[in-house]
Amino acid sequence: MKAARSCAQCGTVFEPRREHARFCSAECRIRWNREHLTDAAAEQRALEWSLAGMRDVTERLTLCRPEEDGVVAFSAVAEAVWWVTIIDARLIRQYMDIYEAVLAAHDPAQRSMVEGTLTGLRFVRNQTSSETVSEEFISPPAGAKKFGVPAAWHWNHIAEPPLDELPDDVRSWERTRYQEYEAWLAGNIIGDVFGRATGFLDLAVARVAAVARALTHIH
């Protein structure tokens, strides 16, 4: 069970299905956006700029070559994790209905994979700094004489971190994030994981833009 919270628009107490959910319904989210996002075009441009930044960062995972200590790989992966999780959280907070519609277009297995991948990346974000990922989380290809590009590294299986001191609701979210990390990231190639995450976010942001254009024509 996830801890209940109050809707940011109407105050109704609800149990969120997603970590970053702020509203009890799509109607409340739409009303809140109309009242607080006074420049929808600027908001849309900011989202698209963020997406471009994410693409640049994740592309660098296939280009940069770590030195002997692998520092470049740890920092590059941390930056990619930050961009992906920031955009994912923003879509959930402000465009939940579109986000859910894009997910619903996937078959059940793909949907589980996408959701699990993004949840697992949130676990990495919470357990590391925004500047570097611990060597506990990622490793170069086994037996490789050189580190190679970070996209070819893999995510490691790790032990569940101590969570007992966290508040009940926070512990519940974090345990779920850890479980999804182990299910969808651990043992997988870094480039494949980011490919799944960014592919979905590309689709979601494109749908947001399409809906915004349609509403502009209507008004």
Phi, psi dihedrals of residue 211, rounded to the nearest 5° = -65, -40
Q: Does residue 69 register a pLDDT over 90?
A: no
Same domain, 30 and 128: no
1/16 same-domain check: yes
DSSP track, 41-82: HHHHHHHHHHHHHHHHHHHHTTT----TT-HHHHHHHHHHHH
Model confidence band, residue 5 (pLDDT cutoffs 50, 70, 90): confident
Looking at the structure, tell me whether residues 32 and 44 fall in a common domain.
Answer: no
Of 214, 217, 215, 205, nearest to 44 by C-alpha is 205
Q: Specify whether 16 is located in the same domain as 45.
A: no
Q: State the pLDDT at residue 123.
A: 95
Q: Residue 1's pLDDT is what?
A: 47
Q: Does 72 share its domain with 21? A: no
CA dist 47 → 72, 154, 196 (Å): 27, 29, 19
208 and 130, same structural domain? Answer: yes
Terminal-to-terminal C-alpha distance of the chain? 42
Q: Does the pLDDT of residue 17 top 80, yes or no?
A: no
Cα gap 200→86, rounded to integer Å: 14
Put simply, whether the predicted model's pTM sits higher than 0.85 gets the answer: no
Q: Are residues 143 and 105 in the same domain?
A: yes
Q: What is the mean pLDDT of residues 60-66?
A: 85
Task: Give me the pLDDT at residue 135, please.
Answer: 87
Contact 193, 183 (CB under 8 A): no
Buried b (16+ CB within 10 A) or exposed e, 105-138: eeeeeeeebbbbbbbbbbbbbebbeeeebeeebb
Residues 30 and 84 both lie in one domain: no
Q: Which domain holds residue 18?
A: 1-36
Question: Which of 73-77, 94-98, 121-125 is predicted most confidently?
Answer: 121-125
Query: Is there a single domain that holds both residue 30 and residue 116?
Result: no
Exposure of 178 by Cβ count < 10 A (0-12 exposed, 13-18 middle, 19+ buried)? buried
* Average pLDDT rounded to a whole number, residues 122-132: 87
pLDDT digits (tens, 9 = 90+) for 145-196: 667 889 999 999 999 988 888 777 778 888 999 999 999 999 999 999 999 9
Domain count, the chain: 2
